[in-house]
Structure 1
Amino acid sequence: MKIKLNRNSGFFAMGTPFDILINKSSNTKLAHNQSKEIEYEPGDVLRAKYSLLKSNEVTLSAEDDGATFEITSNPNIMRTYMTIFTLLFIFPVLFQQWLLAILIIIFYAIFGMAVMNKFYLISKVEEVNNDE
């Protein structure tokens, strides 16, 4: 059985291919805006990985044969990540409290560790039927 896997993860890690894992072992690599067909058996678990950042796990079934899946950056995590990063520079300057910068860095590290297993999303792409 085969699925098609597209990578559309935005600007983050554009220059580095993702490891595509099937049942926690490396299957192939997927570069930015690249598509590949992946062979699988029903019950296999699909996941993408870049360094410490990982995607959600998707359990593949017989119904997924021929389906298209897409890897994207998690938009909620990206928004939060950028907000915290921006606050790291704005708050200490506005309030002239460098202790606040240290607290934001600690929060930033805790946030990063909490979300590294869901930084990317693998989702099934719905087929559009244009027959009318």
Structure 2
Amino acid sequence: MTGQVGIVLVSHSGPVAAAVAALAQGLAGGGPSAPILPAGGTPDGGLGTSAELIAAAAEAADRGAGVALLVDLGSAVLTVKALLAEGDELPAGARLIDAPFVEGAVAALVTASAGGDLDAVEAAASEAYTYRKA
């Protein structure tokens, strides 16, 4: 694959997904960054997950090198897994990433922005599980 890895943040809350995307962009250094898009809440602004919003964000984030999907809670995982199983709802190379939502989003964006491939983005995001705060 050529291009750049895109990132989609799937949350039960639209404002949470948007805030984490903005935080990741702010912490990623301010230069040109890989696409990172929120897909939070339901189309009417409520709490929940929406297959349609996730698919649209993934399509918009796709730059030809795959799309990393980071999720917050249980049913977001199930929604993304269902979309992946359908096979035609998400861009080729879309992948559910097992990583902490906030720290993983920052690590994924930094790595994707530096030109990392999808495997490198997944490794960086997943490594965020080892970050200790005390």
Identify the TM-score tier after normalising by the shorter chain: under 0.3
TM-score by length of 1: 0.28
Q: Which has the larger radius of gyration?
A: 1
- The structure with the greater share of residues assigned to strand is 1
TM-score by length of 2: 0.28
